[in-house]
Amino acid sequence: MLWRIDAASDEPLYAQLVAQAHLAAARGQLAPGDRLPTARELADSLDLNVHTVLKAYQQLRDEGLIELRRGRGAVVTARAAADLSPVEQALAVLVRVAREANLSTETLTVLVKEAMSR
């Protein structure tokens, strides 16, 4: 899969990695059993710190997308096959109506987090 990181974004680097992995899995670019690059490899190629990548991997593990084993690296789990297309569709709708209401990205983010915490 292709990793695209925006260092200028206000979104944490590790969170960007997590989101990208989810999208890749949803698009079939990551199949169950596939291996992600080792943390040290990915950190090298993206010019990030190993710890940043590891934080992303650990969150991906918490979310059930990968398994982590010492000496072996990160392996995509069976559960990773989850279909994200409903999410992308819901996202598109949300963005459209939010724009119509003149909501800033920041404001919308607060609303999303609030809605998720309920």
Positions in the binding site for a copy of itself (CB under 8 A): 9-11, 15-16, 18-19, 22-23, 26, 59, 62-65, 79, 82-84, 86-87, 89-95, 97-98, 100-117
Question: 26 or 55, CB closer to DNA?
Answer: 55
- Gap between the Cα atoms of 35 and 118, Å rounded: 35
- Gap between the Cα atoms of 77 and 35, Å rounded: 10
Question: 97 or 112, CB closer to DNA?
Answer: 112
- Gap between the Cα atoms of 30 and 34, Å rounded: 6
Query: Residue 100 burial by CB count (10 A; 0-12/13-18/19+): exposed, middle or buried?
Result: exposed
57 binds, among DNA, a copy of itself, none (CB under 5 to 8 A by kind): DNA
86 binds, among a copy of itself, DNA, none (CB under 5 to 8 A by kind): a copy of itself
Residue 37 in tokens: 């690059």
Interface contacts to DNA, rule CB under 7 A: 10, 12-15, 38-41, 47-52, 54-55, 57-58, 61, 68-74
